[in-house]
């Protein structure tokens, strides 16, 4: 049966849409518990989270759980991969520090939640966490999922709709929800070169970081992402002009 569940976690509404006839609500429990655990450990809005305590110097690197150490190490690797355009150690955080791994953690957490659903036997579903989407299988037998990329100036309009079969991930970085909040690590200031940047690829954590990087790089980000096997990007500038990399699943010319 179709199950559509919305969970408020990580400061947003996370929606899970399953399309398997045999799935019941209980199958969602491990993934939901995982997302709440991630929120408790990595939220930069929580005074008691592990990442806040580390960022403030209350605990050291050796005091972190191995999982958290792994997340921070992966963020460092992504900084290198993105030529410094994505850098969680140069981002003003709500807890007053300059360490904010949420640009990776959200996608990573949702990707892991998708894996937990698969472990529980769910095969056809999507998880949407504030526009970052993990997809598995089909929307219905033989039919792809339709994913809308929001128009940056009109909340009720879609700039582009793409059709995707899972497994695949879609991540978008934009200014329309929180204003100019995406920091260019090279200047320490918010960047507004683009209105939005969307990345499609096999892993949502990486796609999330890459979407931030493309947003920071601007149009040059399309050339950069051409070198990243399996990933592609679609951008919209403030004049509404759209551009995309060669592998992006675009249905045709135009925006």
| Residue ranges covered by each domain of the chain | 3-244
Domain 3-244 in CATH 3.40.630.30: no
Binning pLDDT at 50, 70 and 90, where does residue 252 land? very low
pTM: 0.94
Question: Considering only 4-18, 23-37, 83-97, 140-154, which range has the smallest mean pLDDT?
Answer: 140-154
- The predicted pLDDT at position 151 comes to 85
Between CA 177 and CA 237, with CA 228 as vertex, the angle to 5 degrees is 35
């Amino acid at each position: 049966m179709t199950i559509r569940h919305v969970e408020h976690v990580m400061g947003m509404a996370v929606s899970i849409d399953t399309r398997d006839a045999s799935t019941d609500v209980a199958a969602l429990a491990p993934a939901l518990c995982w997302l709440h655990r991630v929120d408790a450990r990595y939220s930069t809005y929580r005074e008691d989270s592990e990442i806040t305590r580390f960022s403030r110097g209350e605990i050291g690197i050796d005091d972190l759980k191995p999982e958290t150490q792994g997340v921070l190490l992966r963020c460092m690797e992504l900084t290198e991969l993105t030529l410094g355009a994505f850098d969680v150690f140069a981002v003003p955080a709500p807890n007053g520090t300059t360490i904010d791994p949420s640009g990776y953690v959200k996608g990573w957490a949702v990707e892991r939640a998708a894996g937990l659903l698969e472990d529980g036997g769910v095969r056809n579903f999507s998880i949407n966490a504030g526009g970052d989407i993990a997809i598995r299988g089909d929307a219905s037998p033989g039919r792809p999922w339709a994913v809308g990329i929001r128009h940056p100036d009109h909340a009720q309009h879609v700039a582009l709709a793409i059709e995707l079969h899972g497994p695949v991930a879609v991540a978008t970085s934009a200014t329309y929800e929180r204003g100019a909040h995406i920091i260019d690590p090279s200047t320490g200031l918010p960047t507004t070169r683009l209105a939005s940047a969307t990345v499609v690829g096999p892993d949502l954590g990486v796609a999330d970081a890459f979407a931030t990087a493309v947003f920071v790089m601007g149009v040059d980000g399309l050339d950069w992402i051409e070198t990243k096997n399996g990933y592609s990007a679609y951008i919209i500038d403030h004049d509404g002009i759209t551009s995309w990399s060669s592998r992006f699943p675009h249905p045709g010319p135009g925006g």
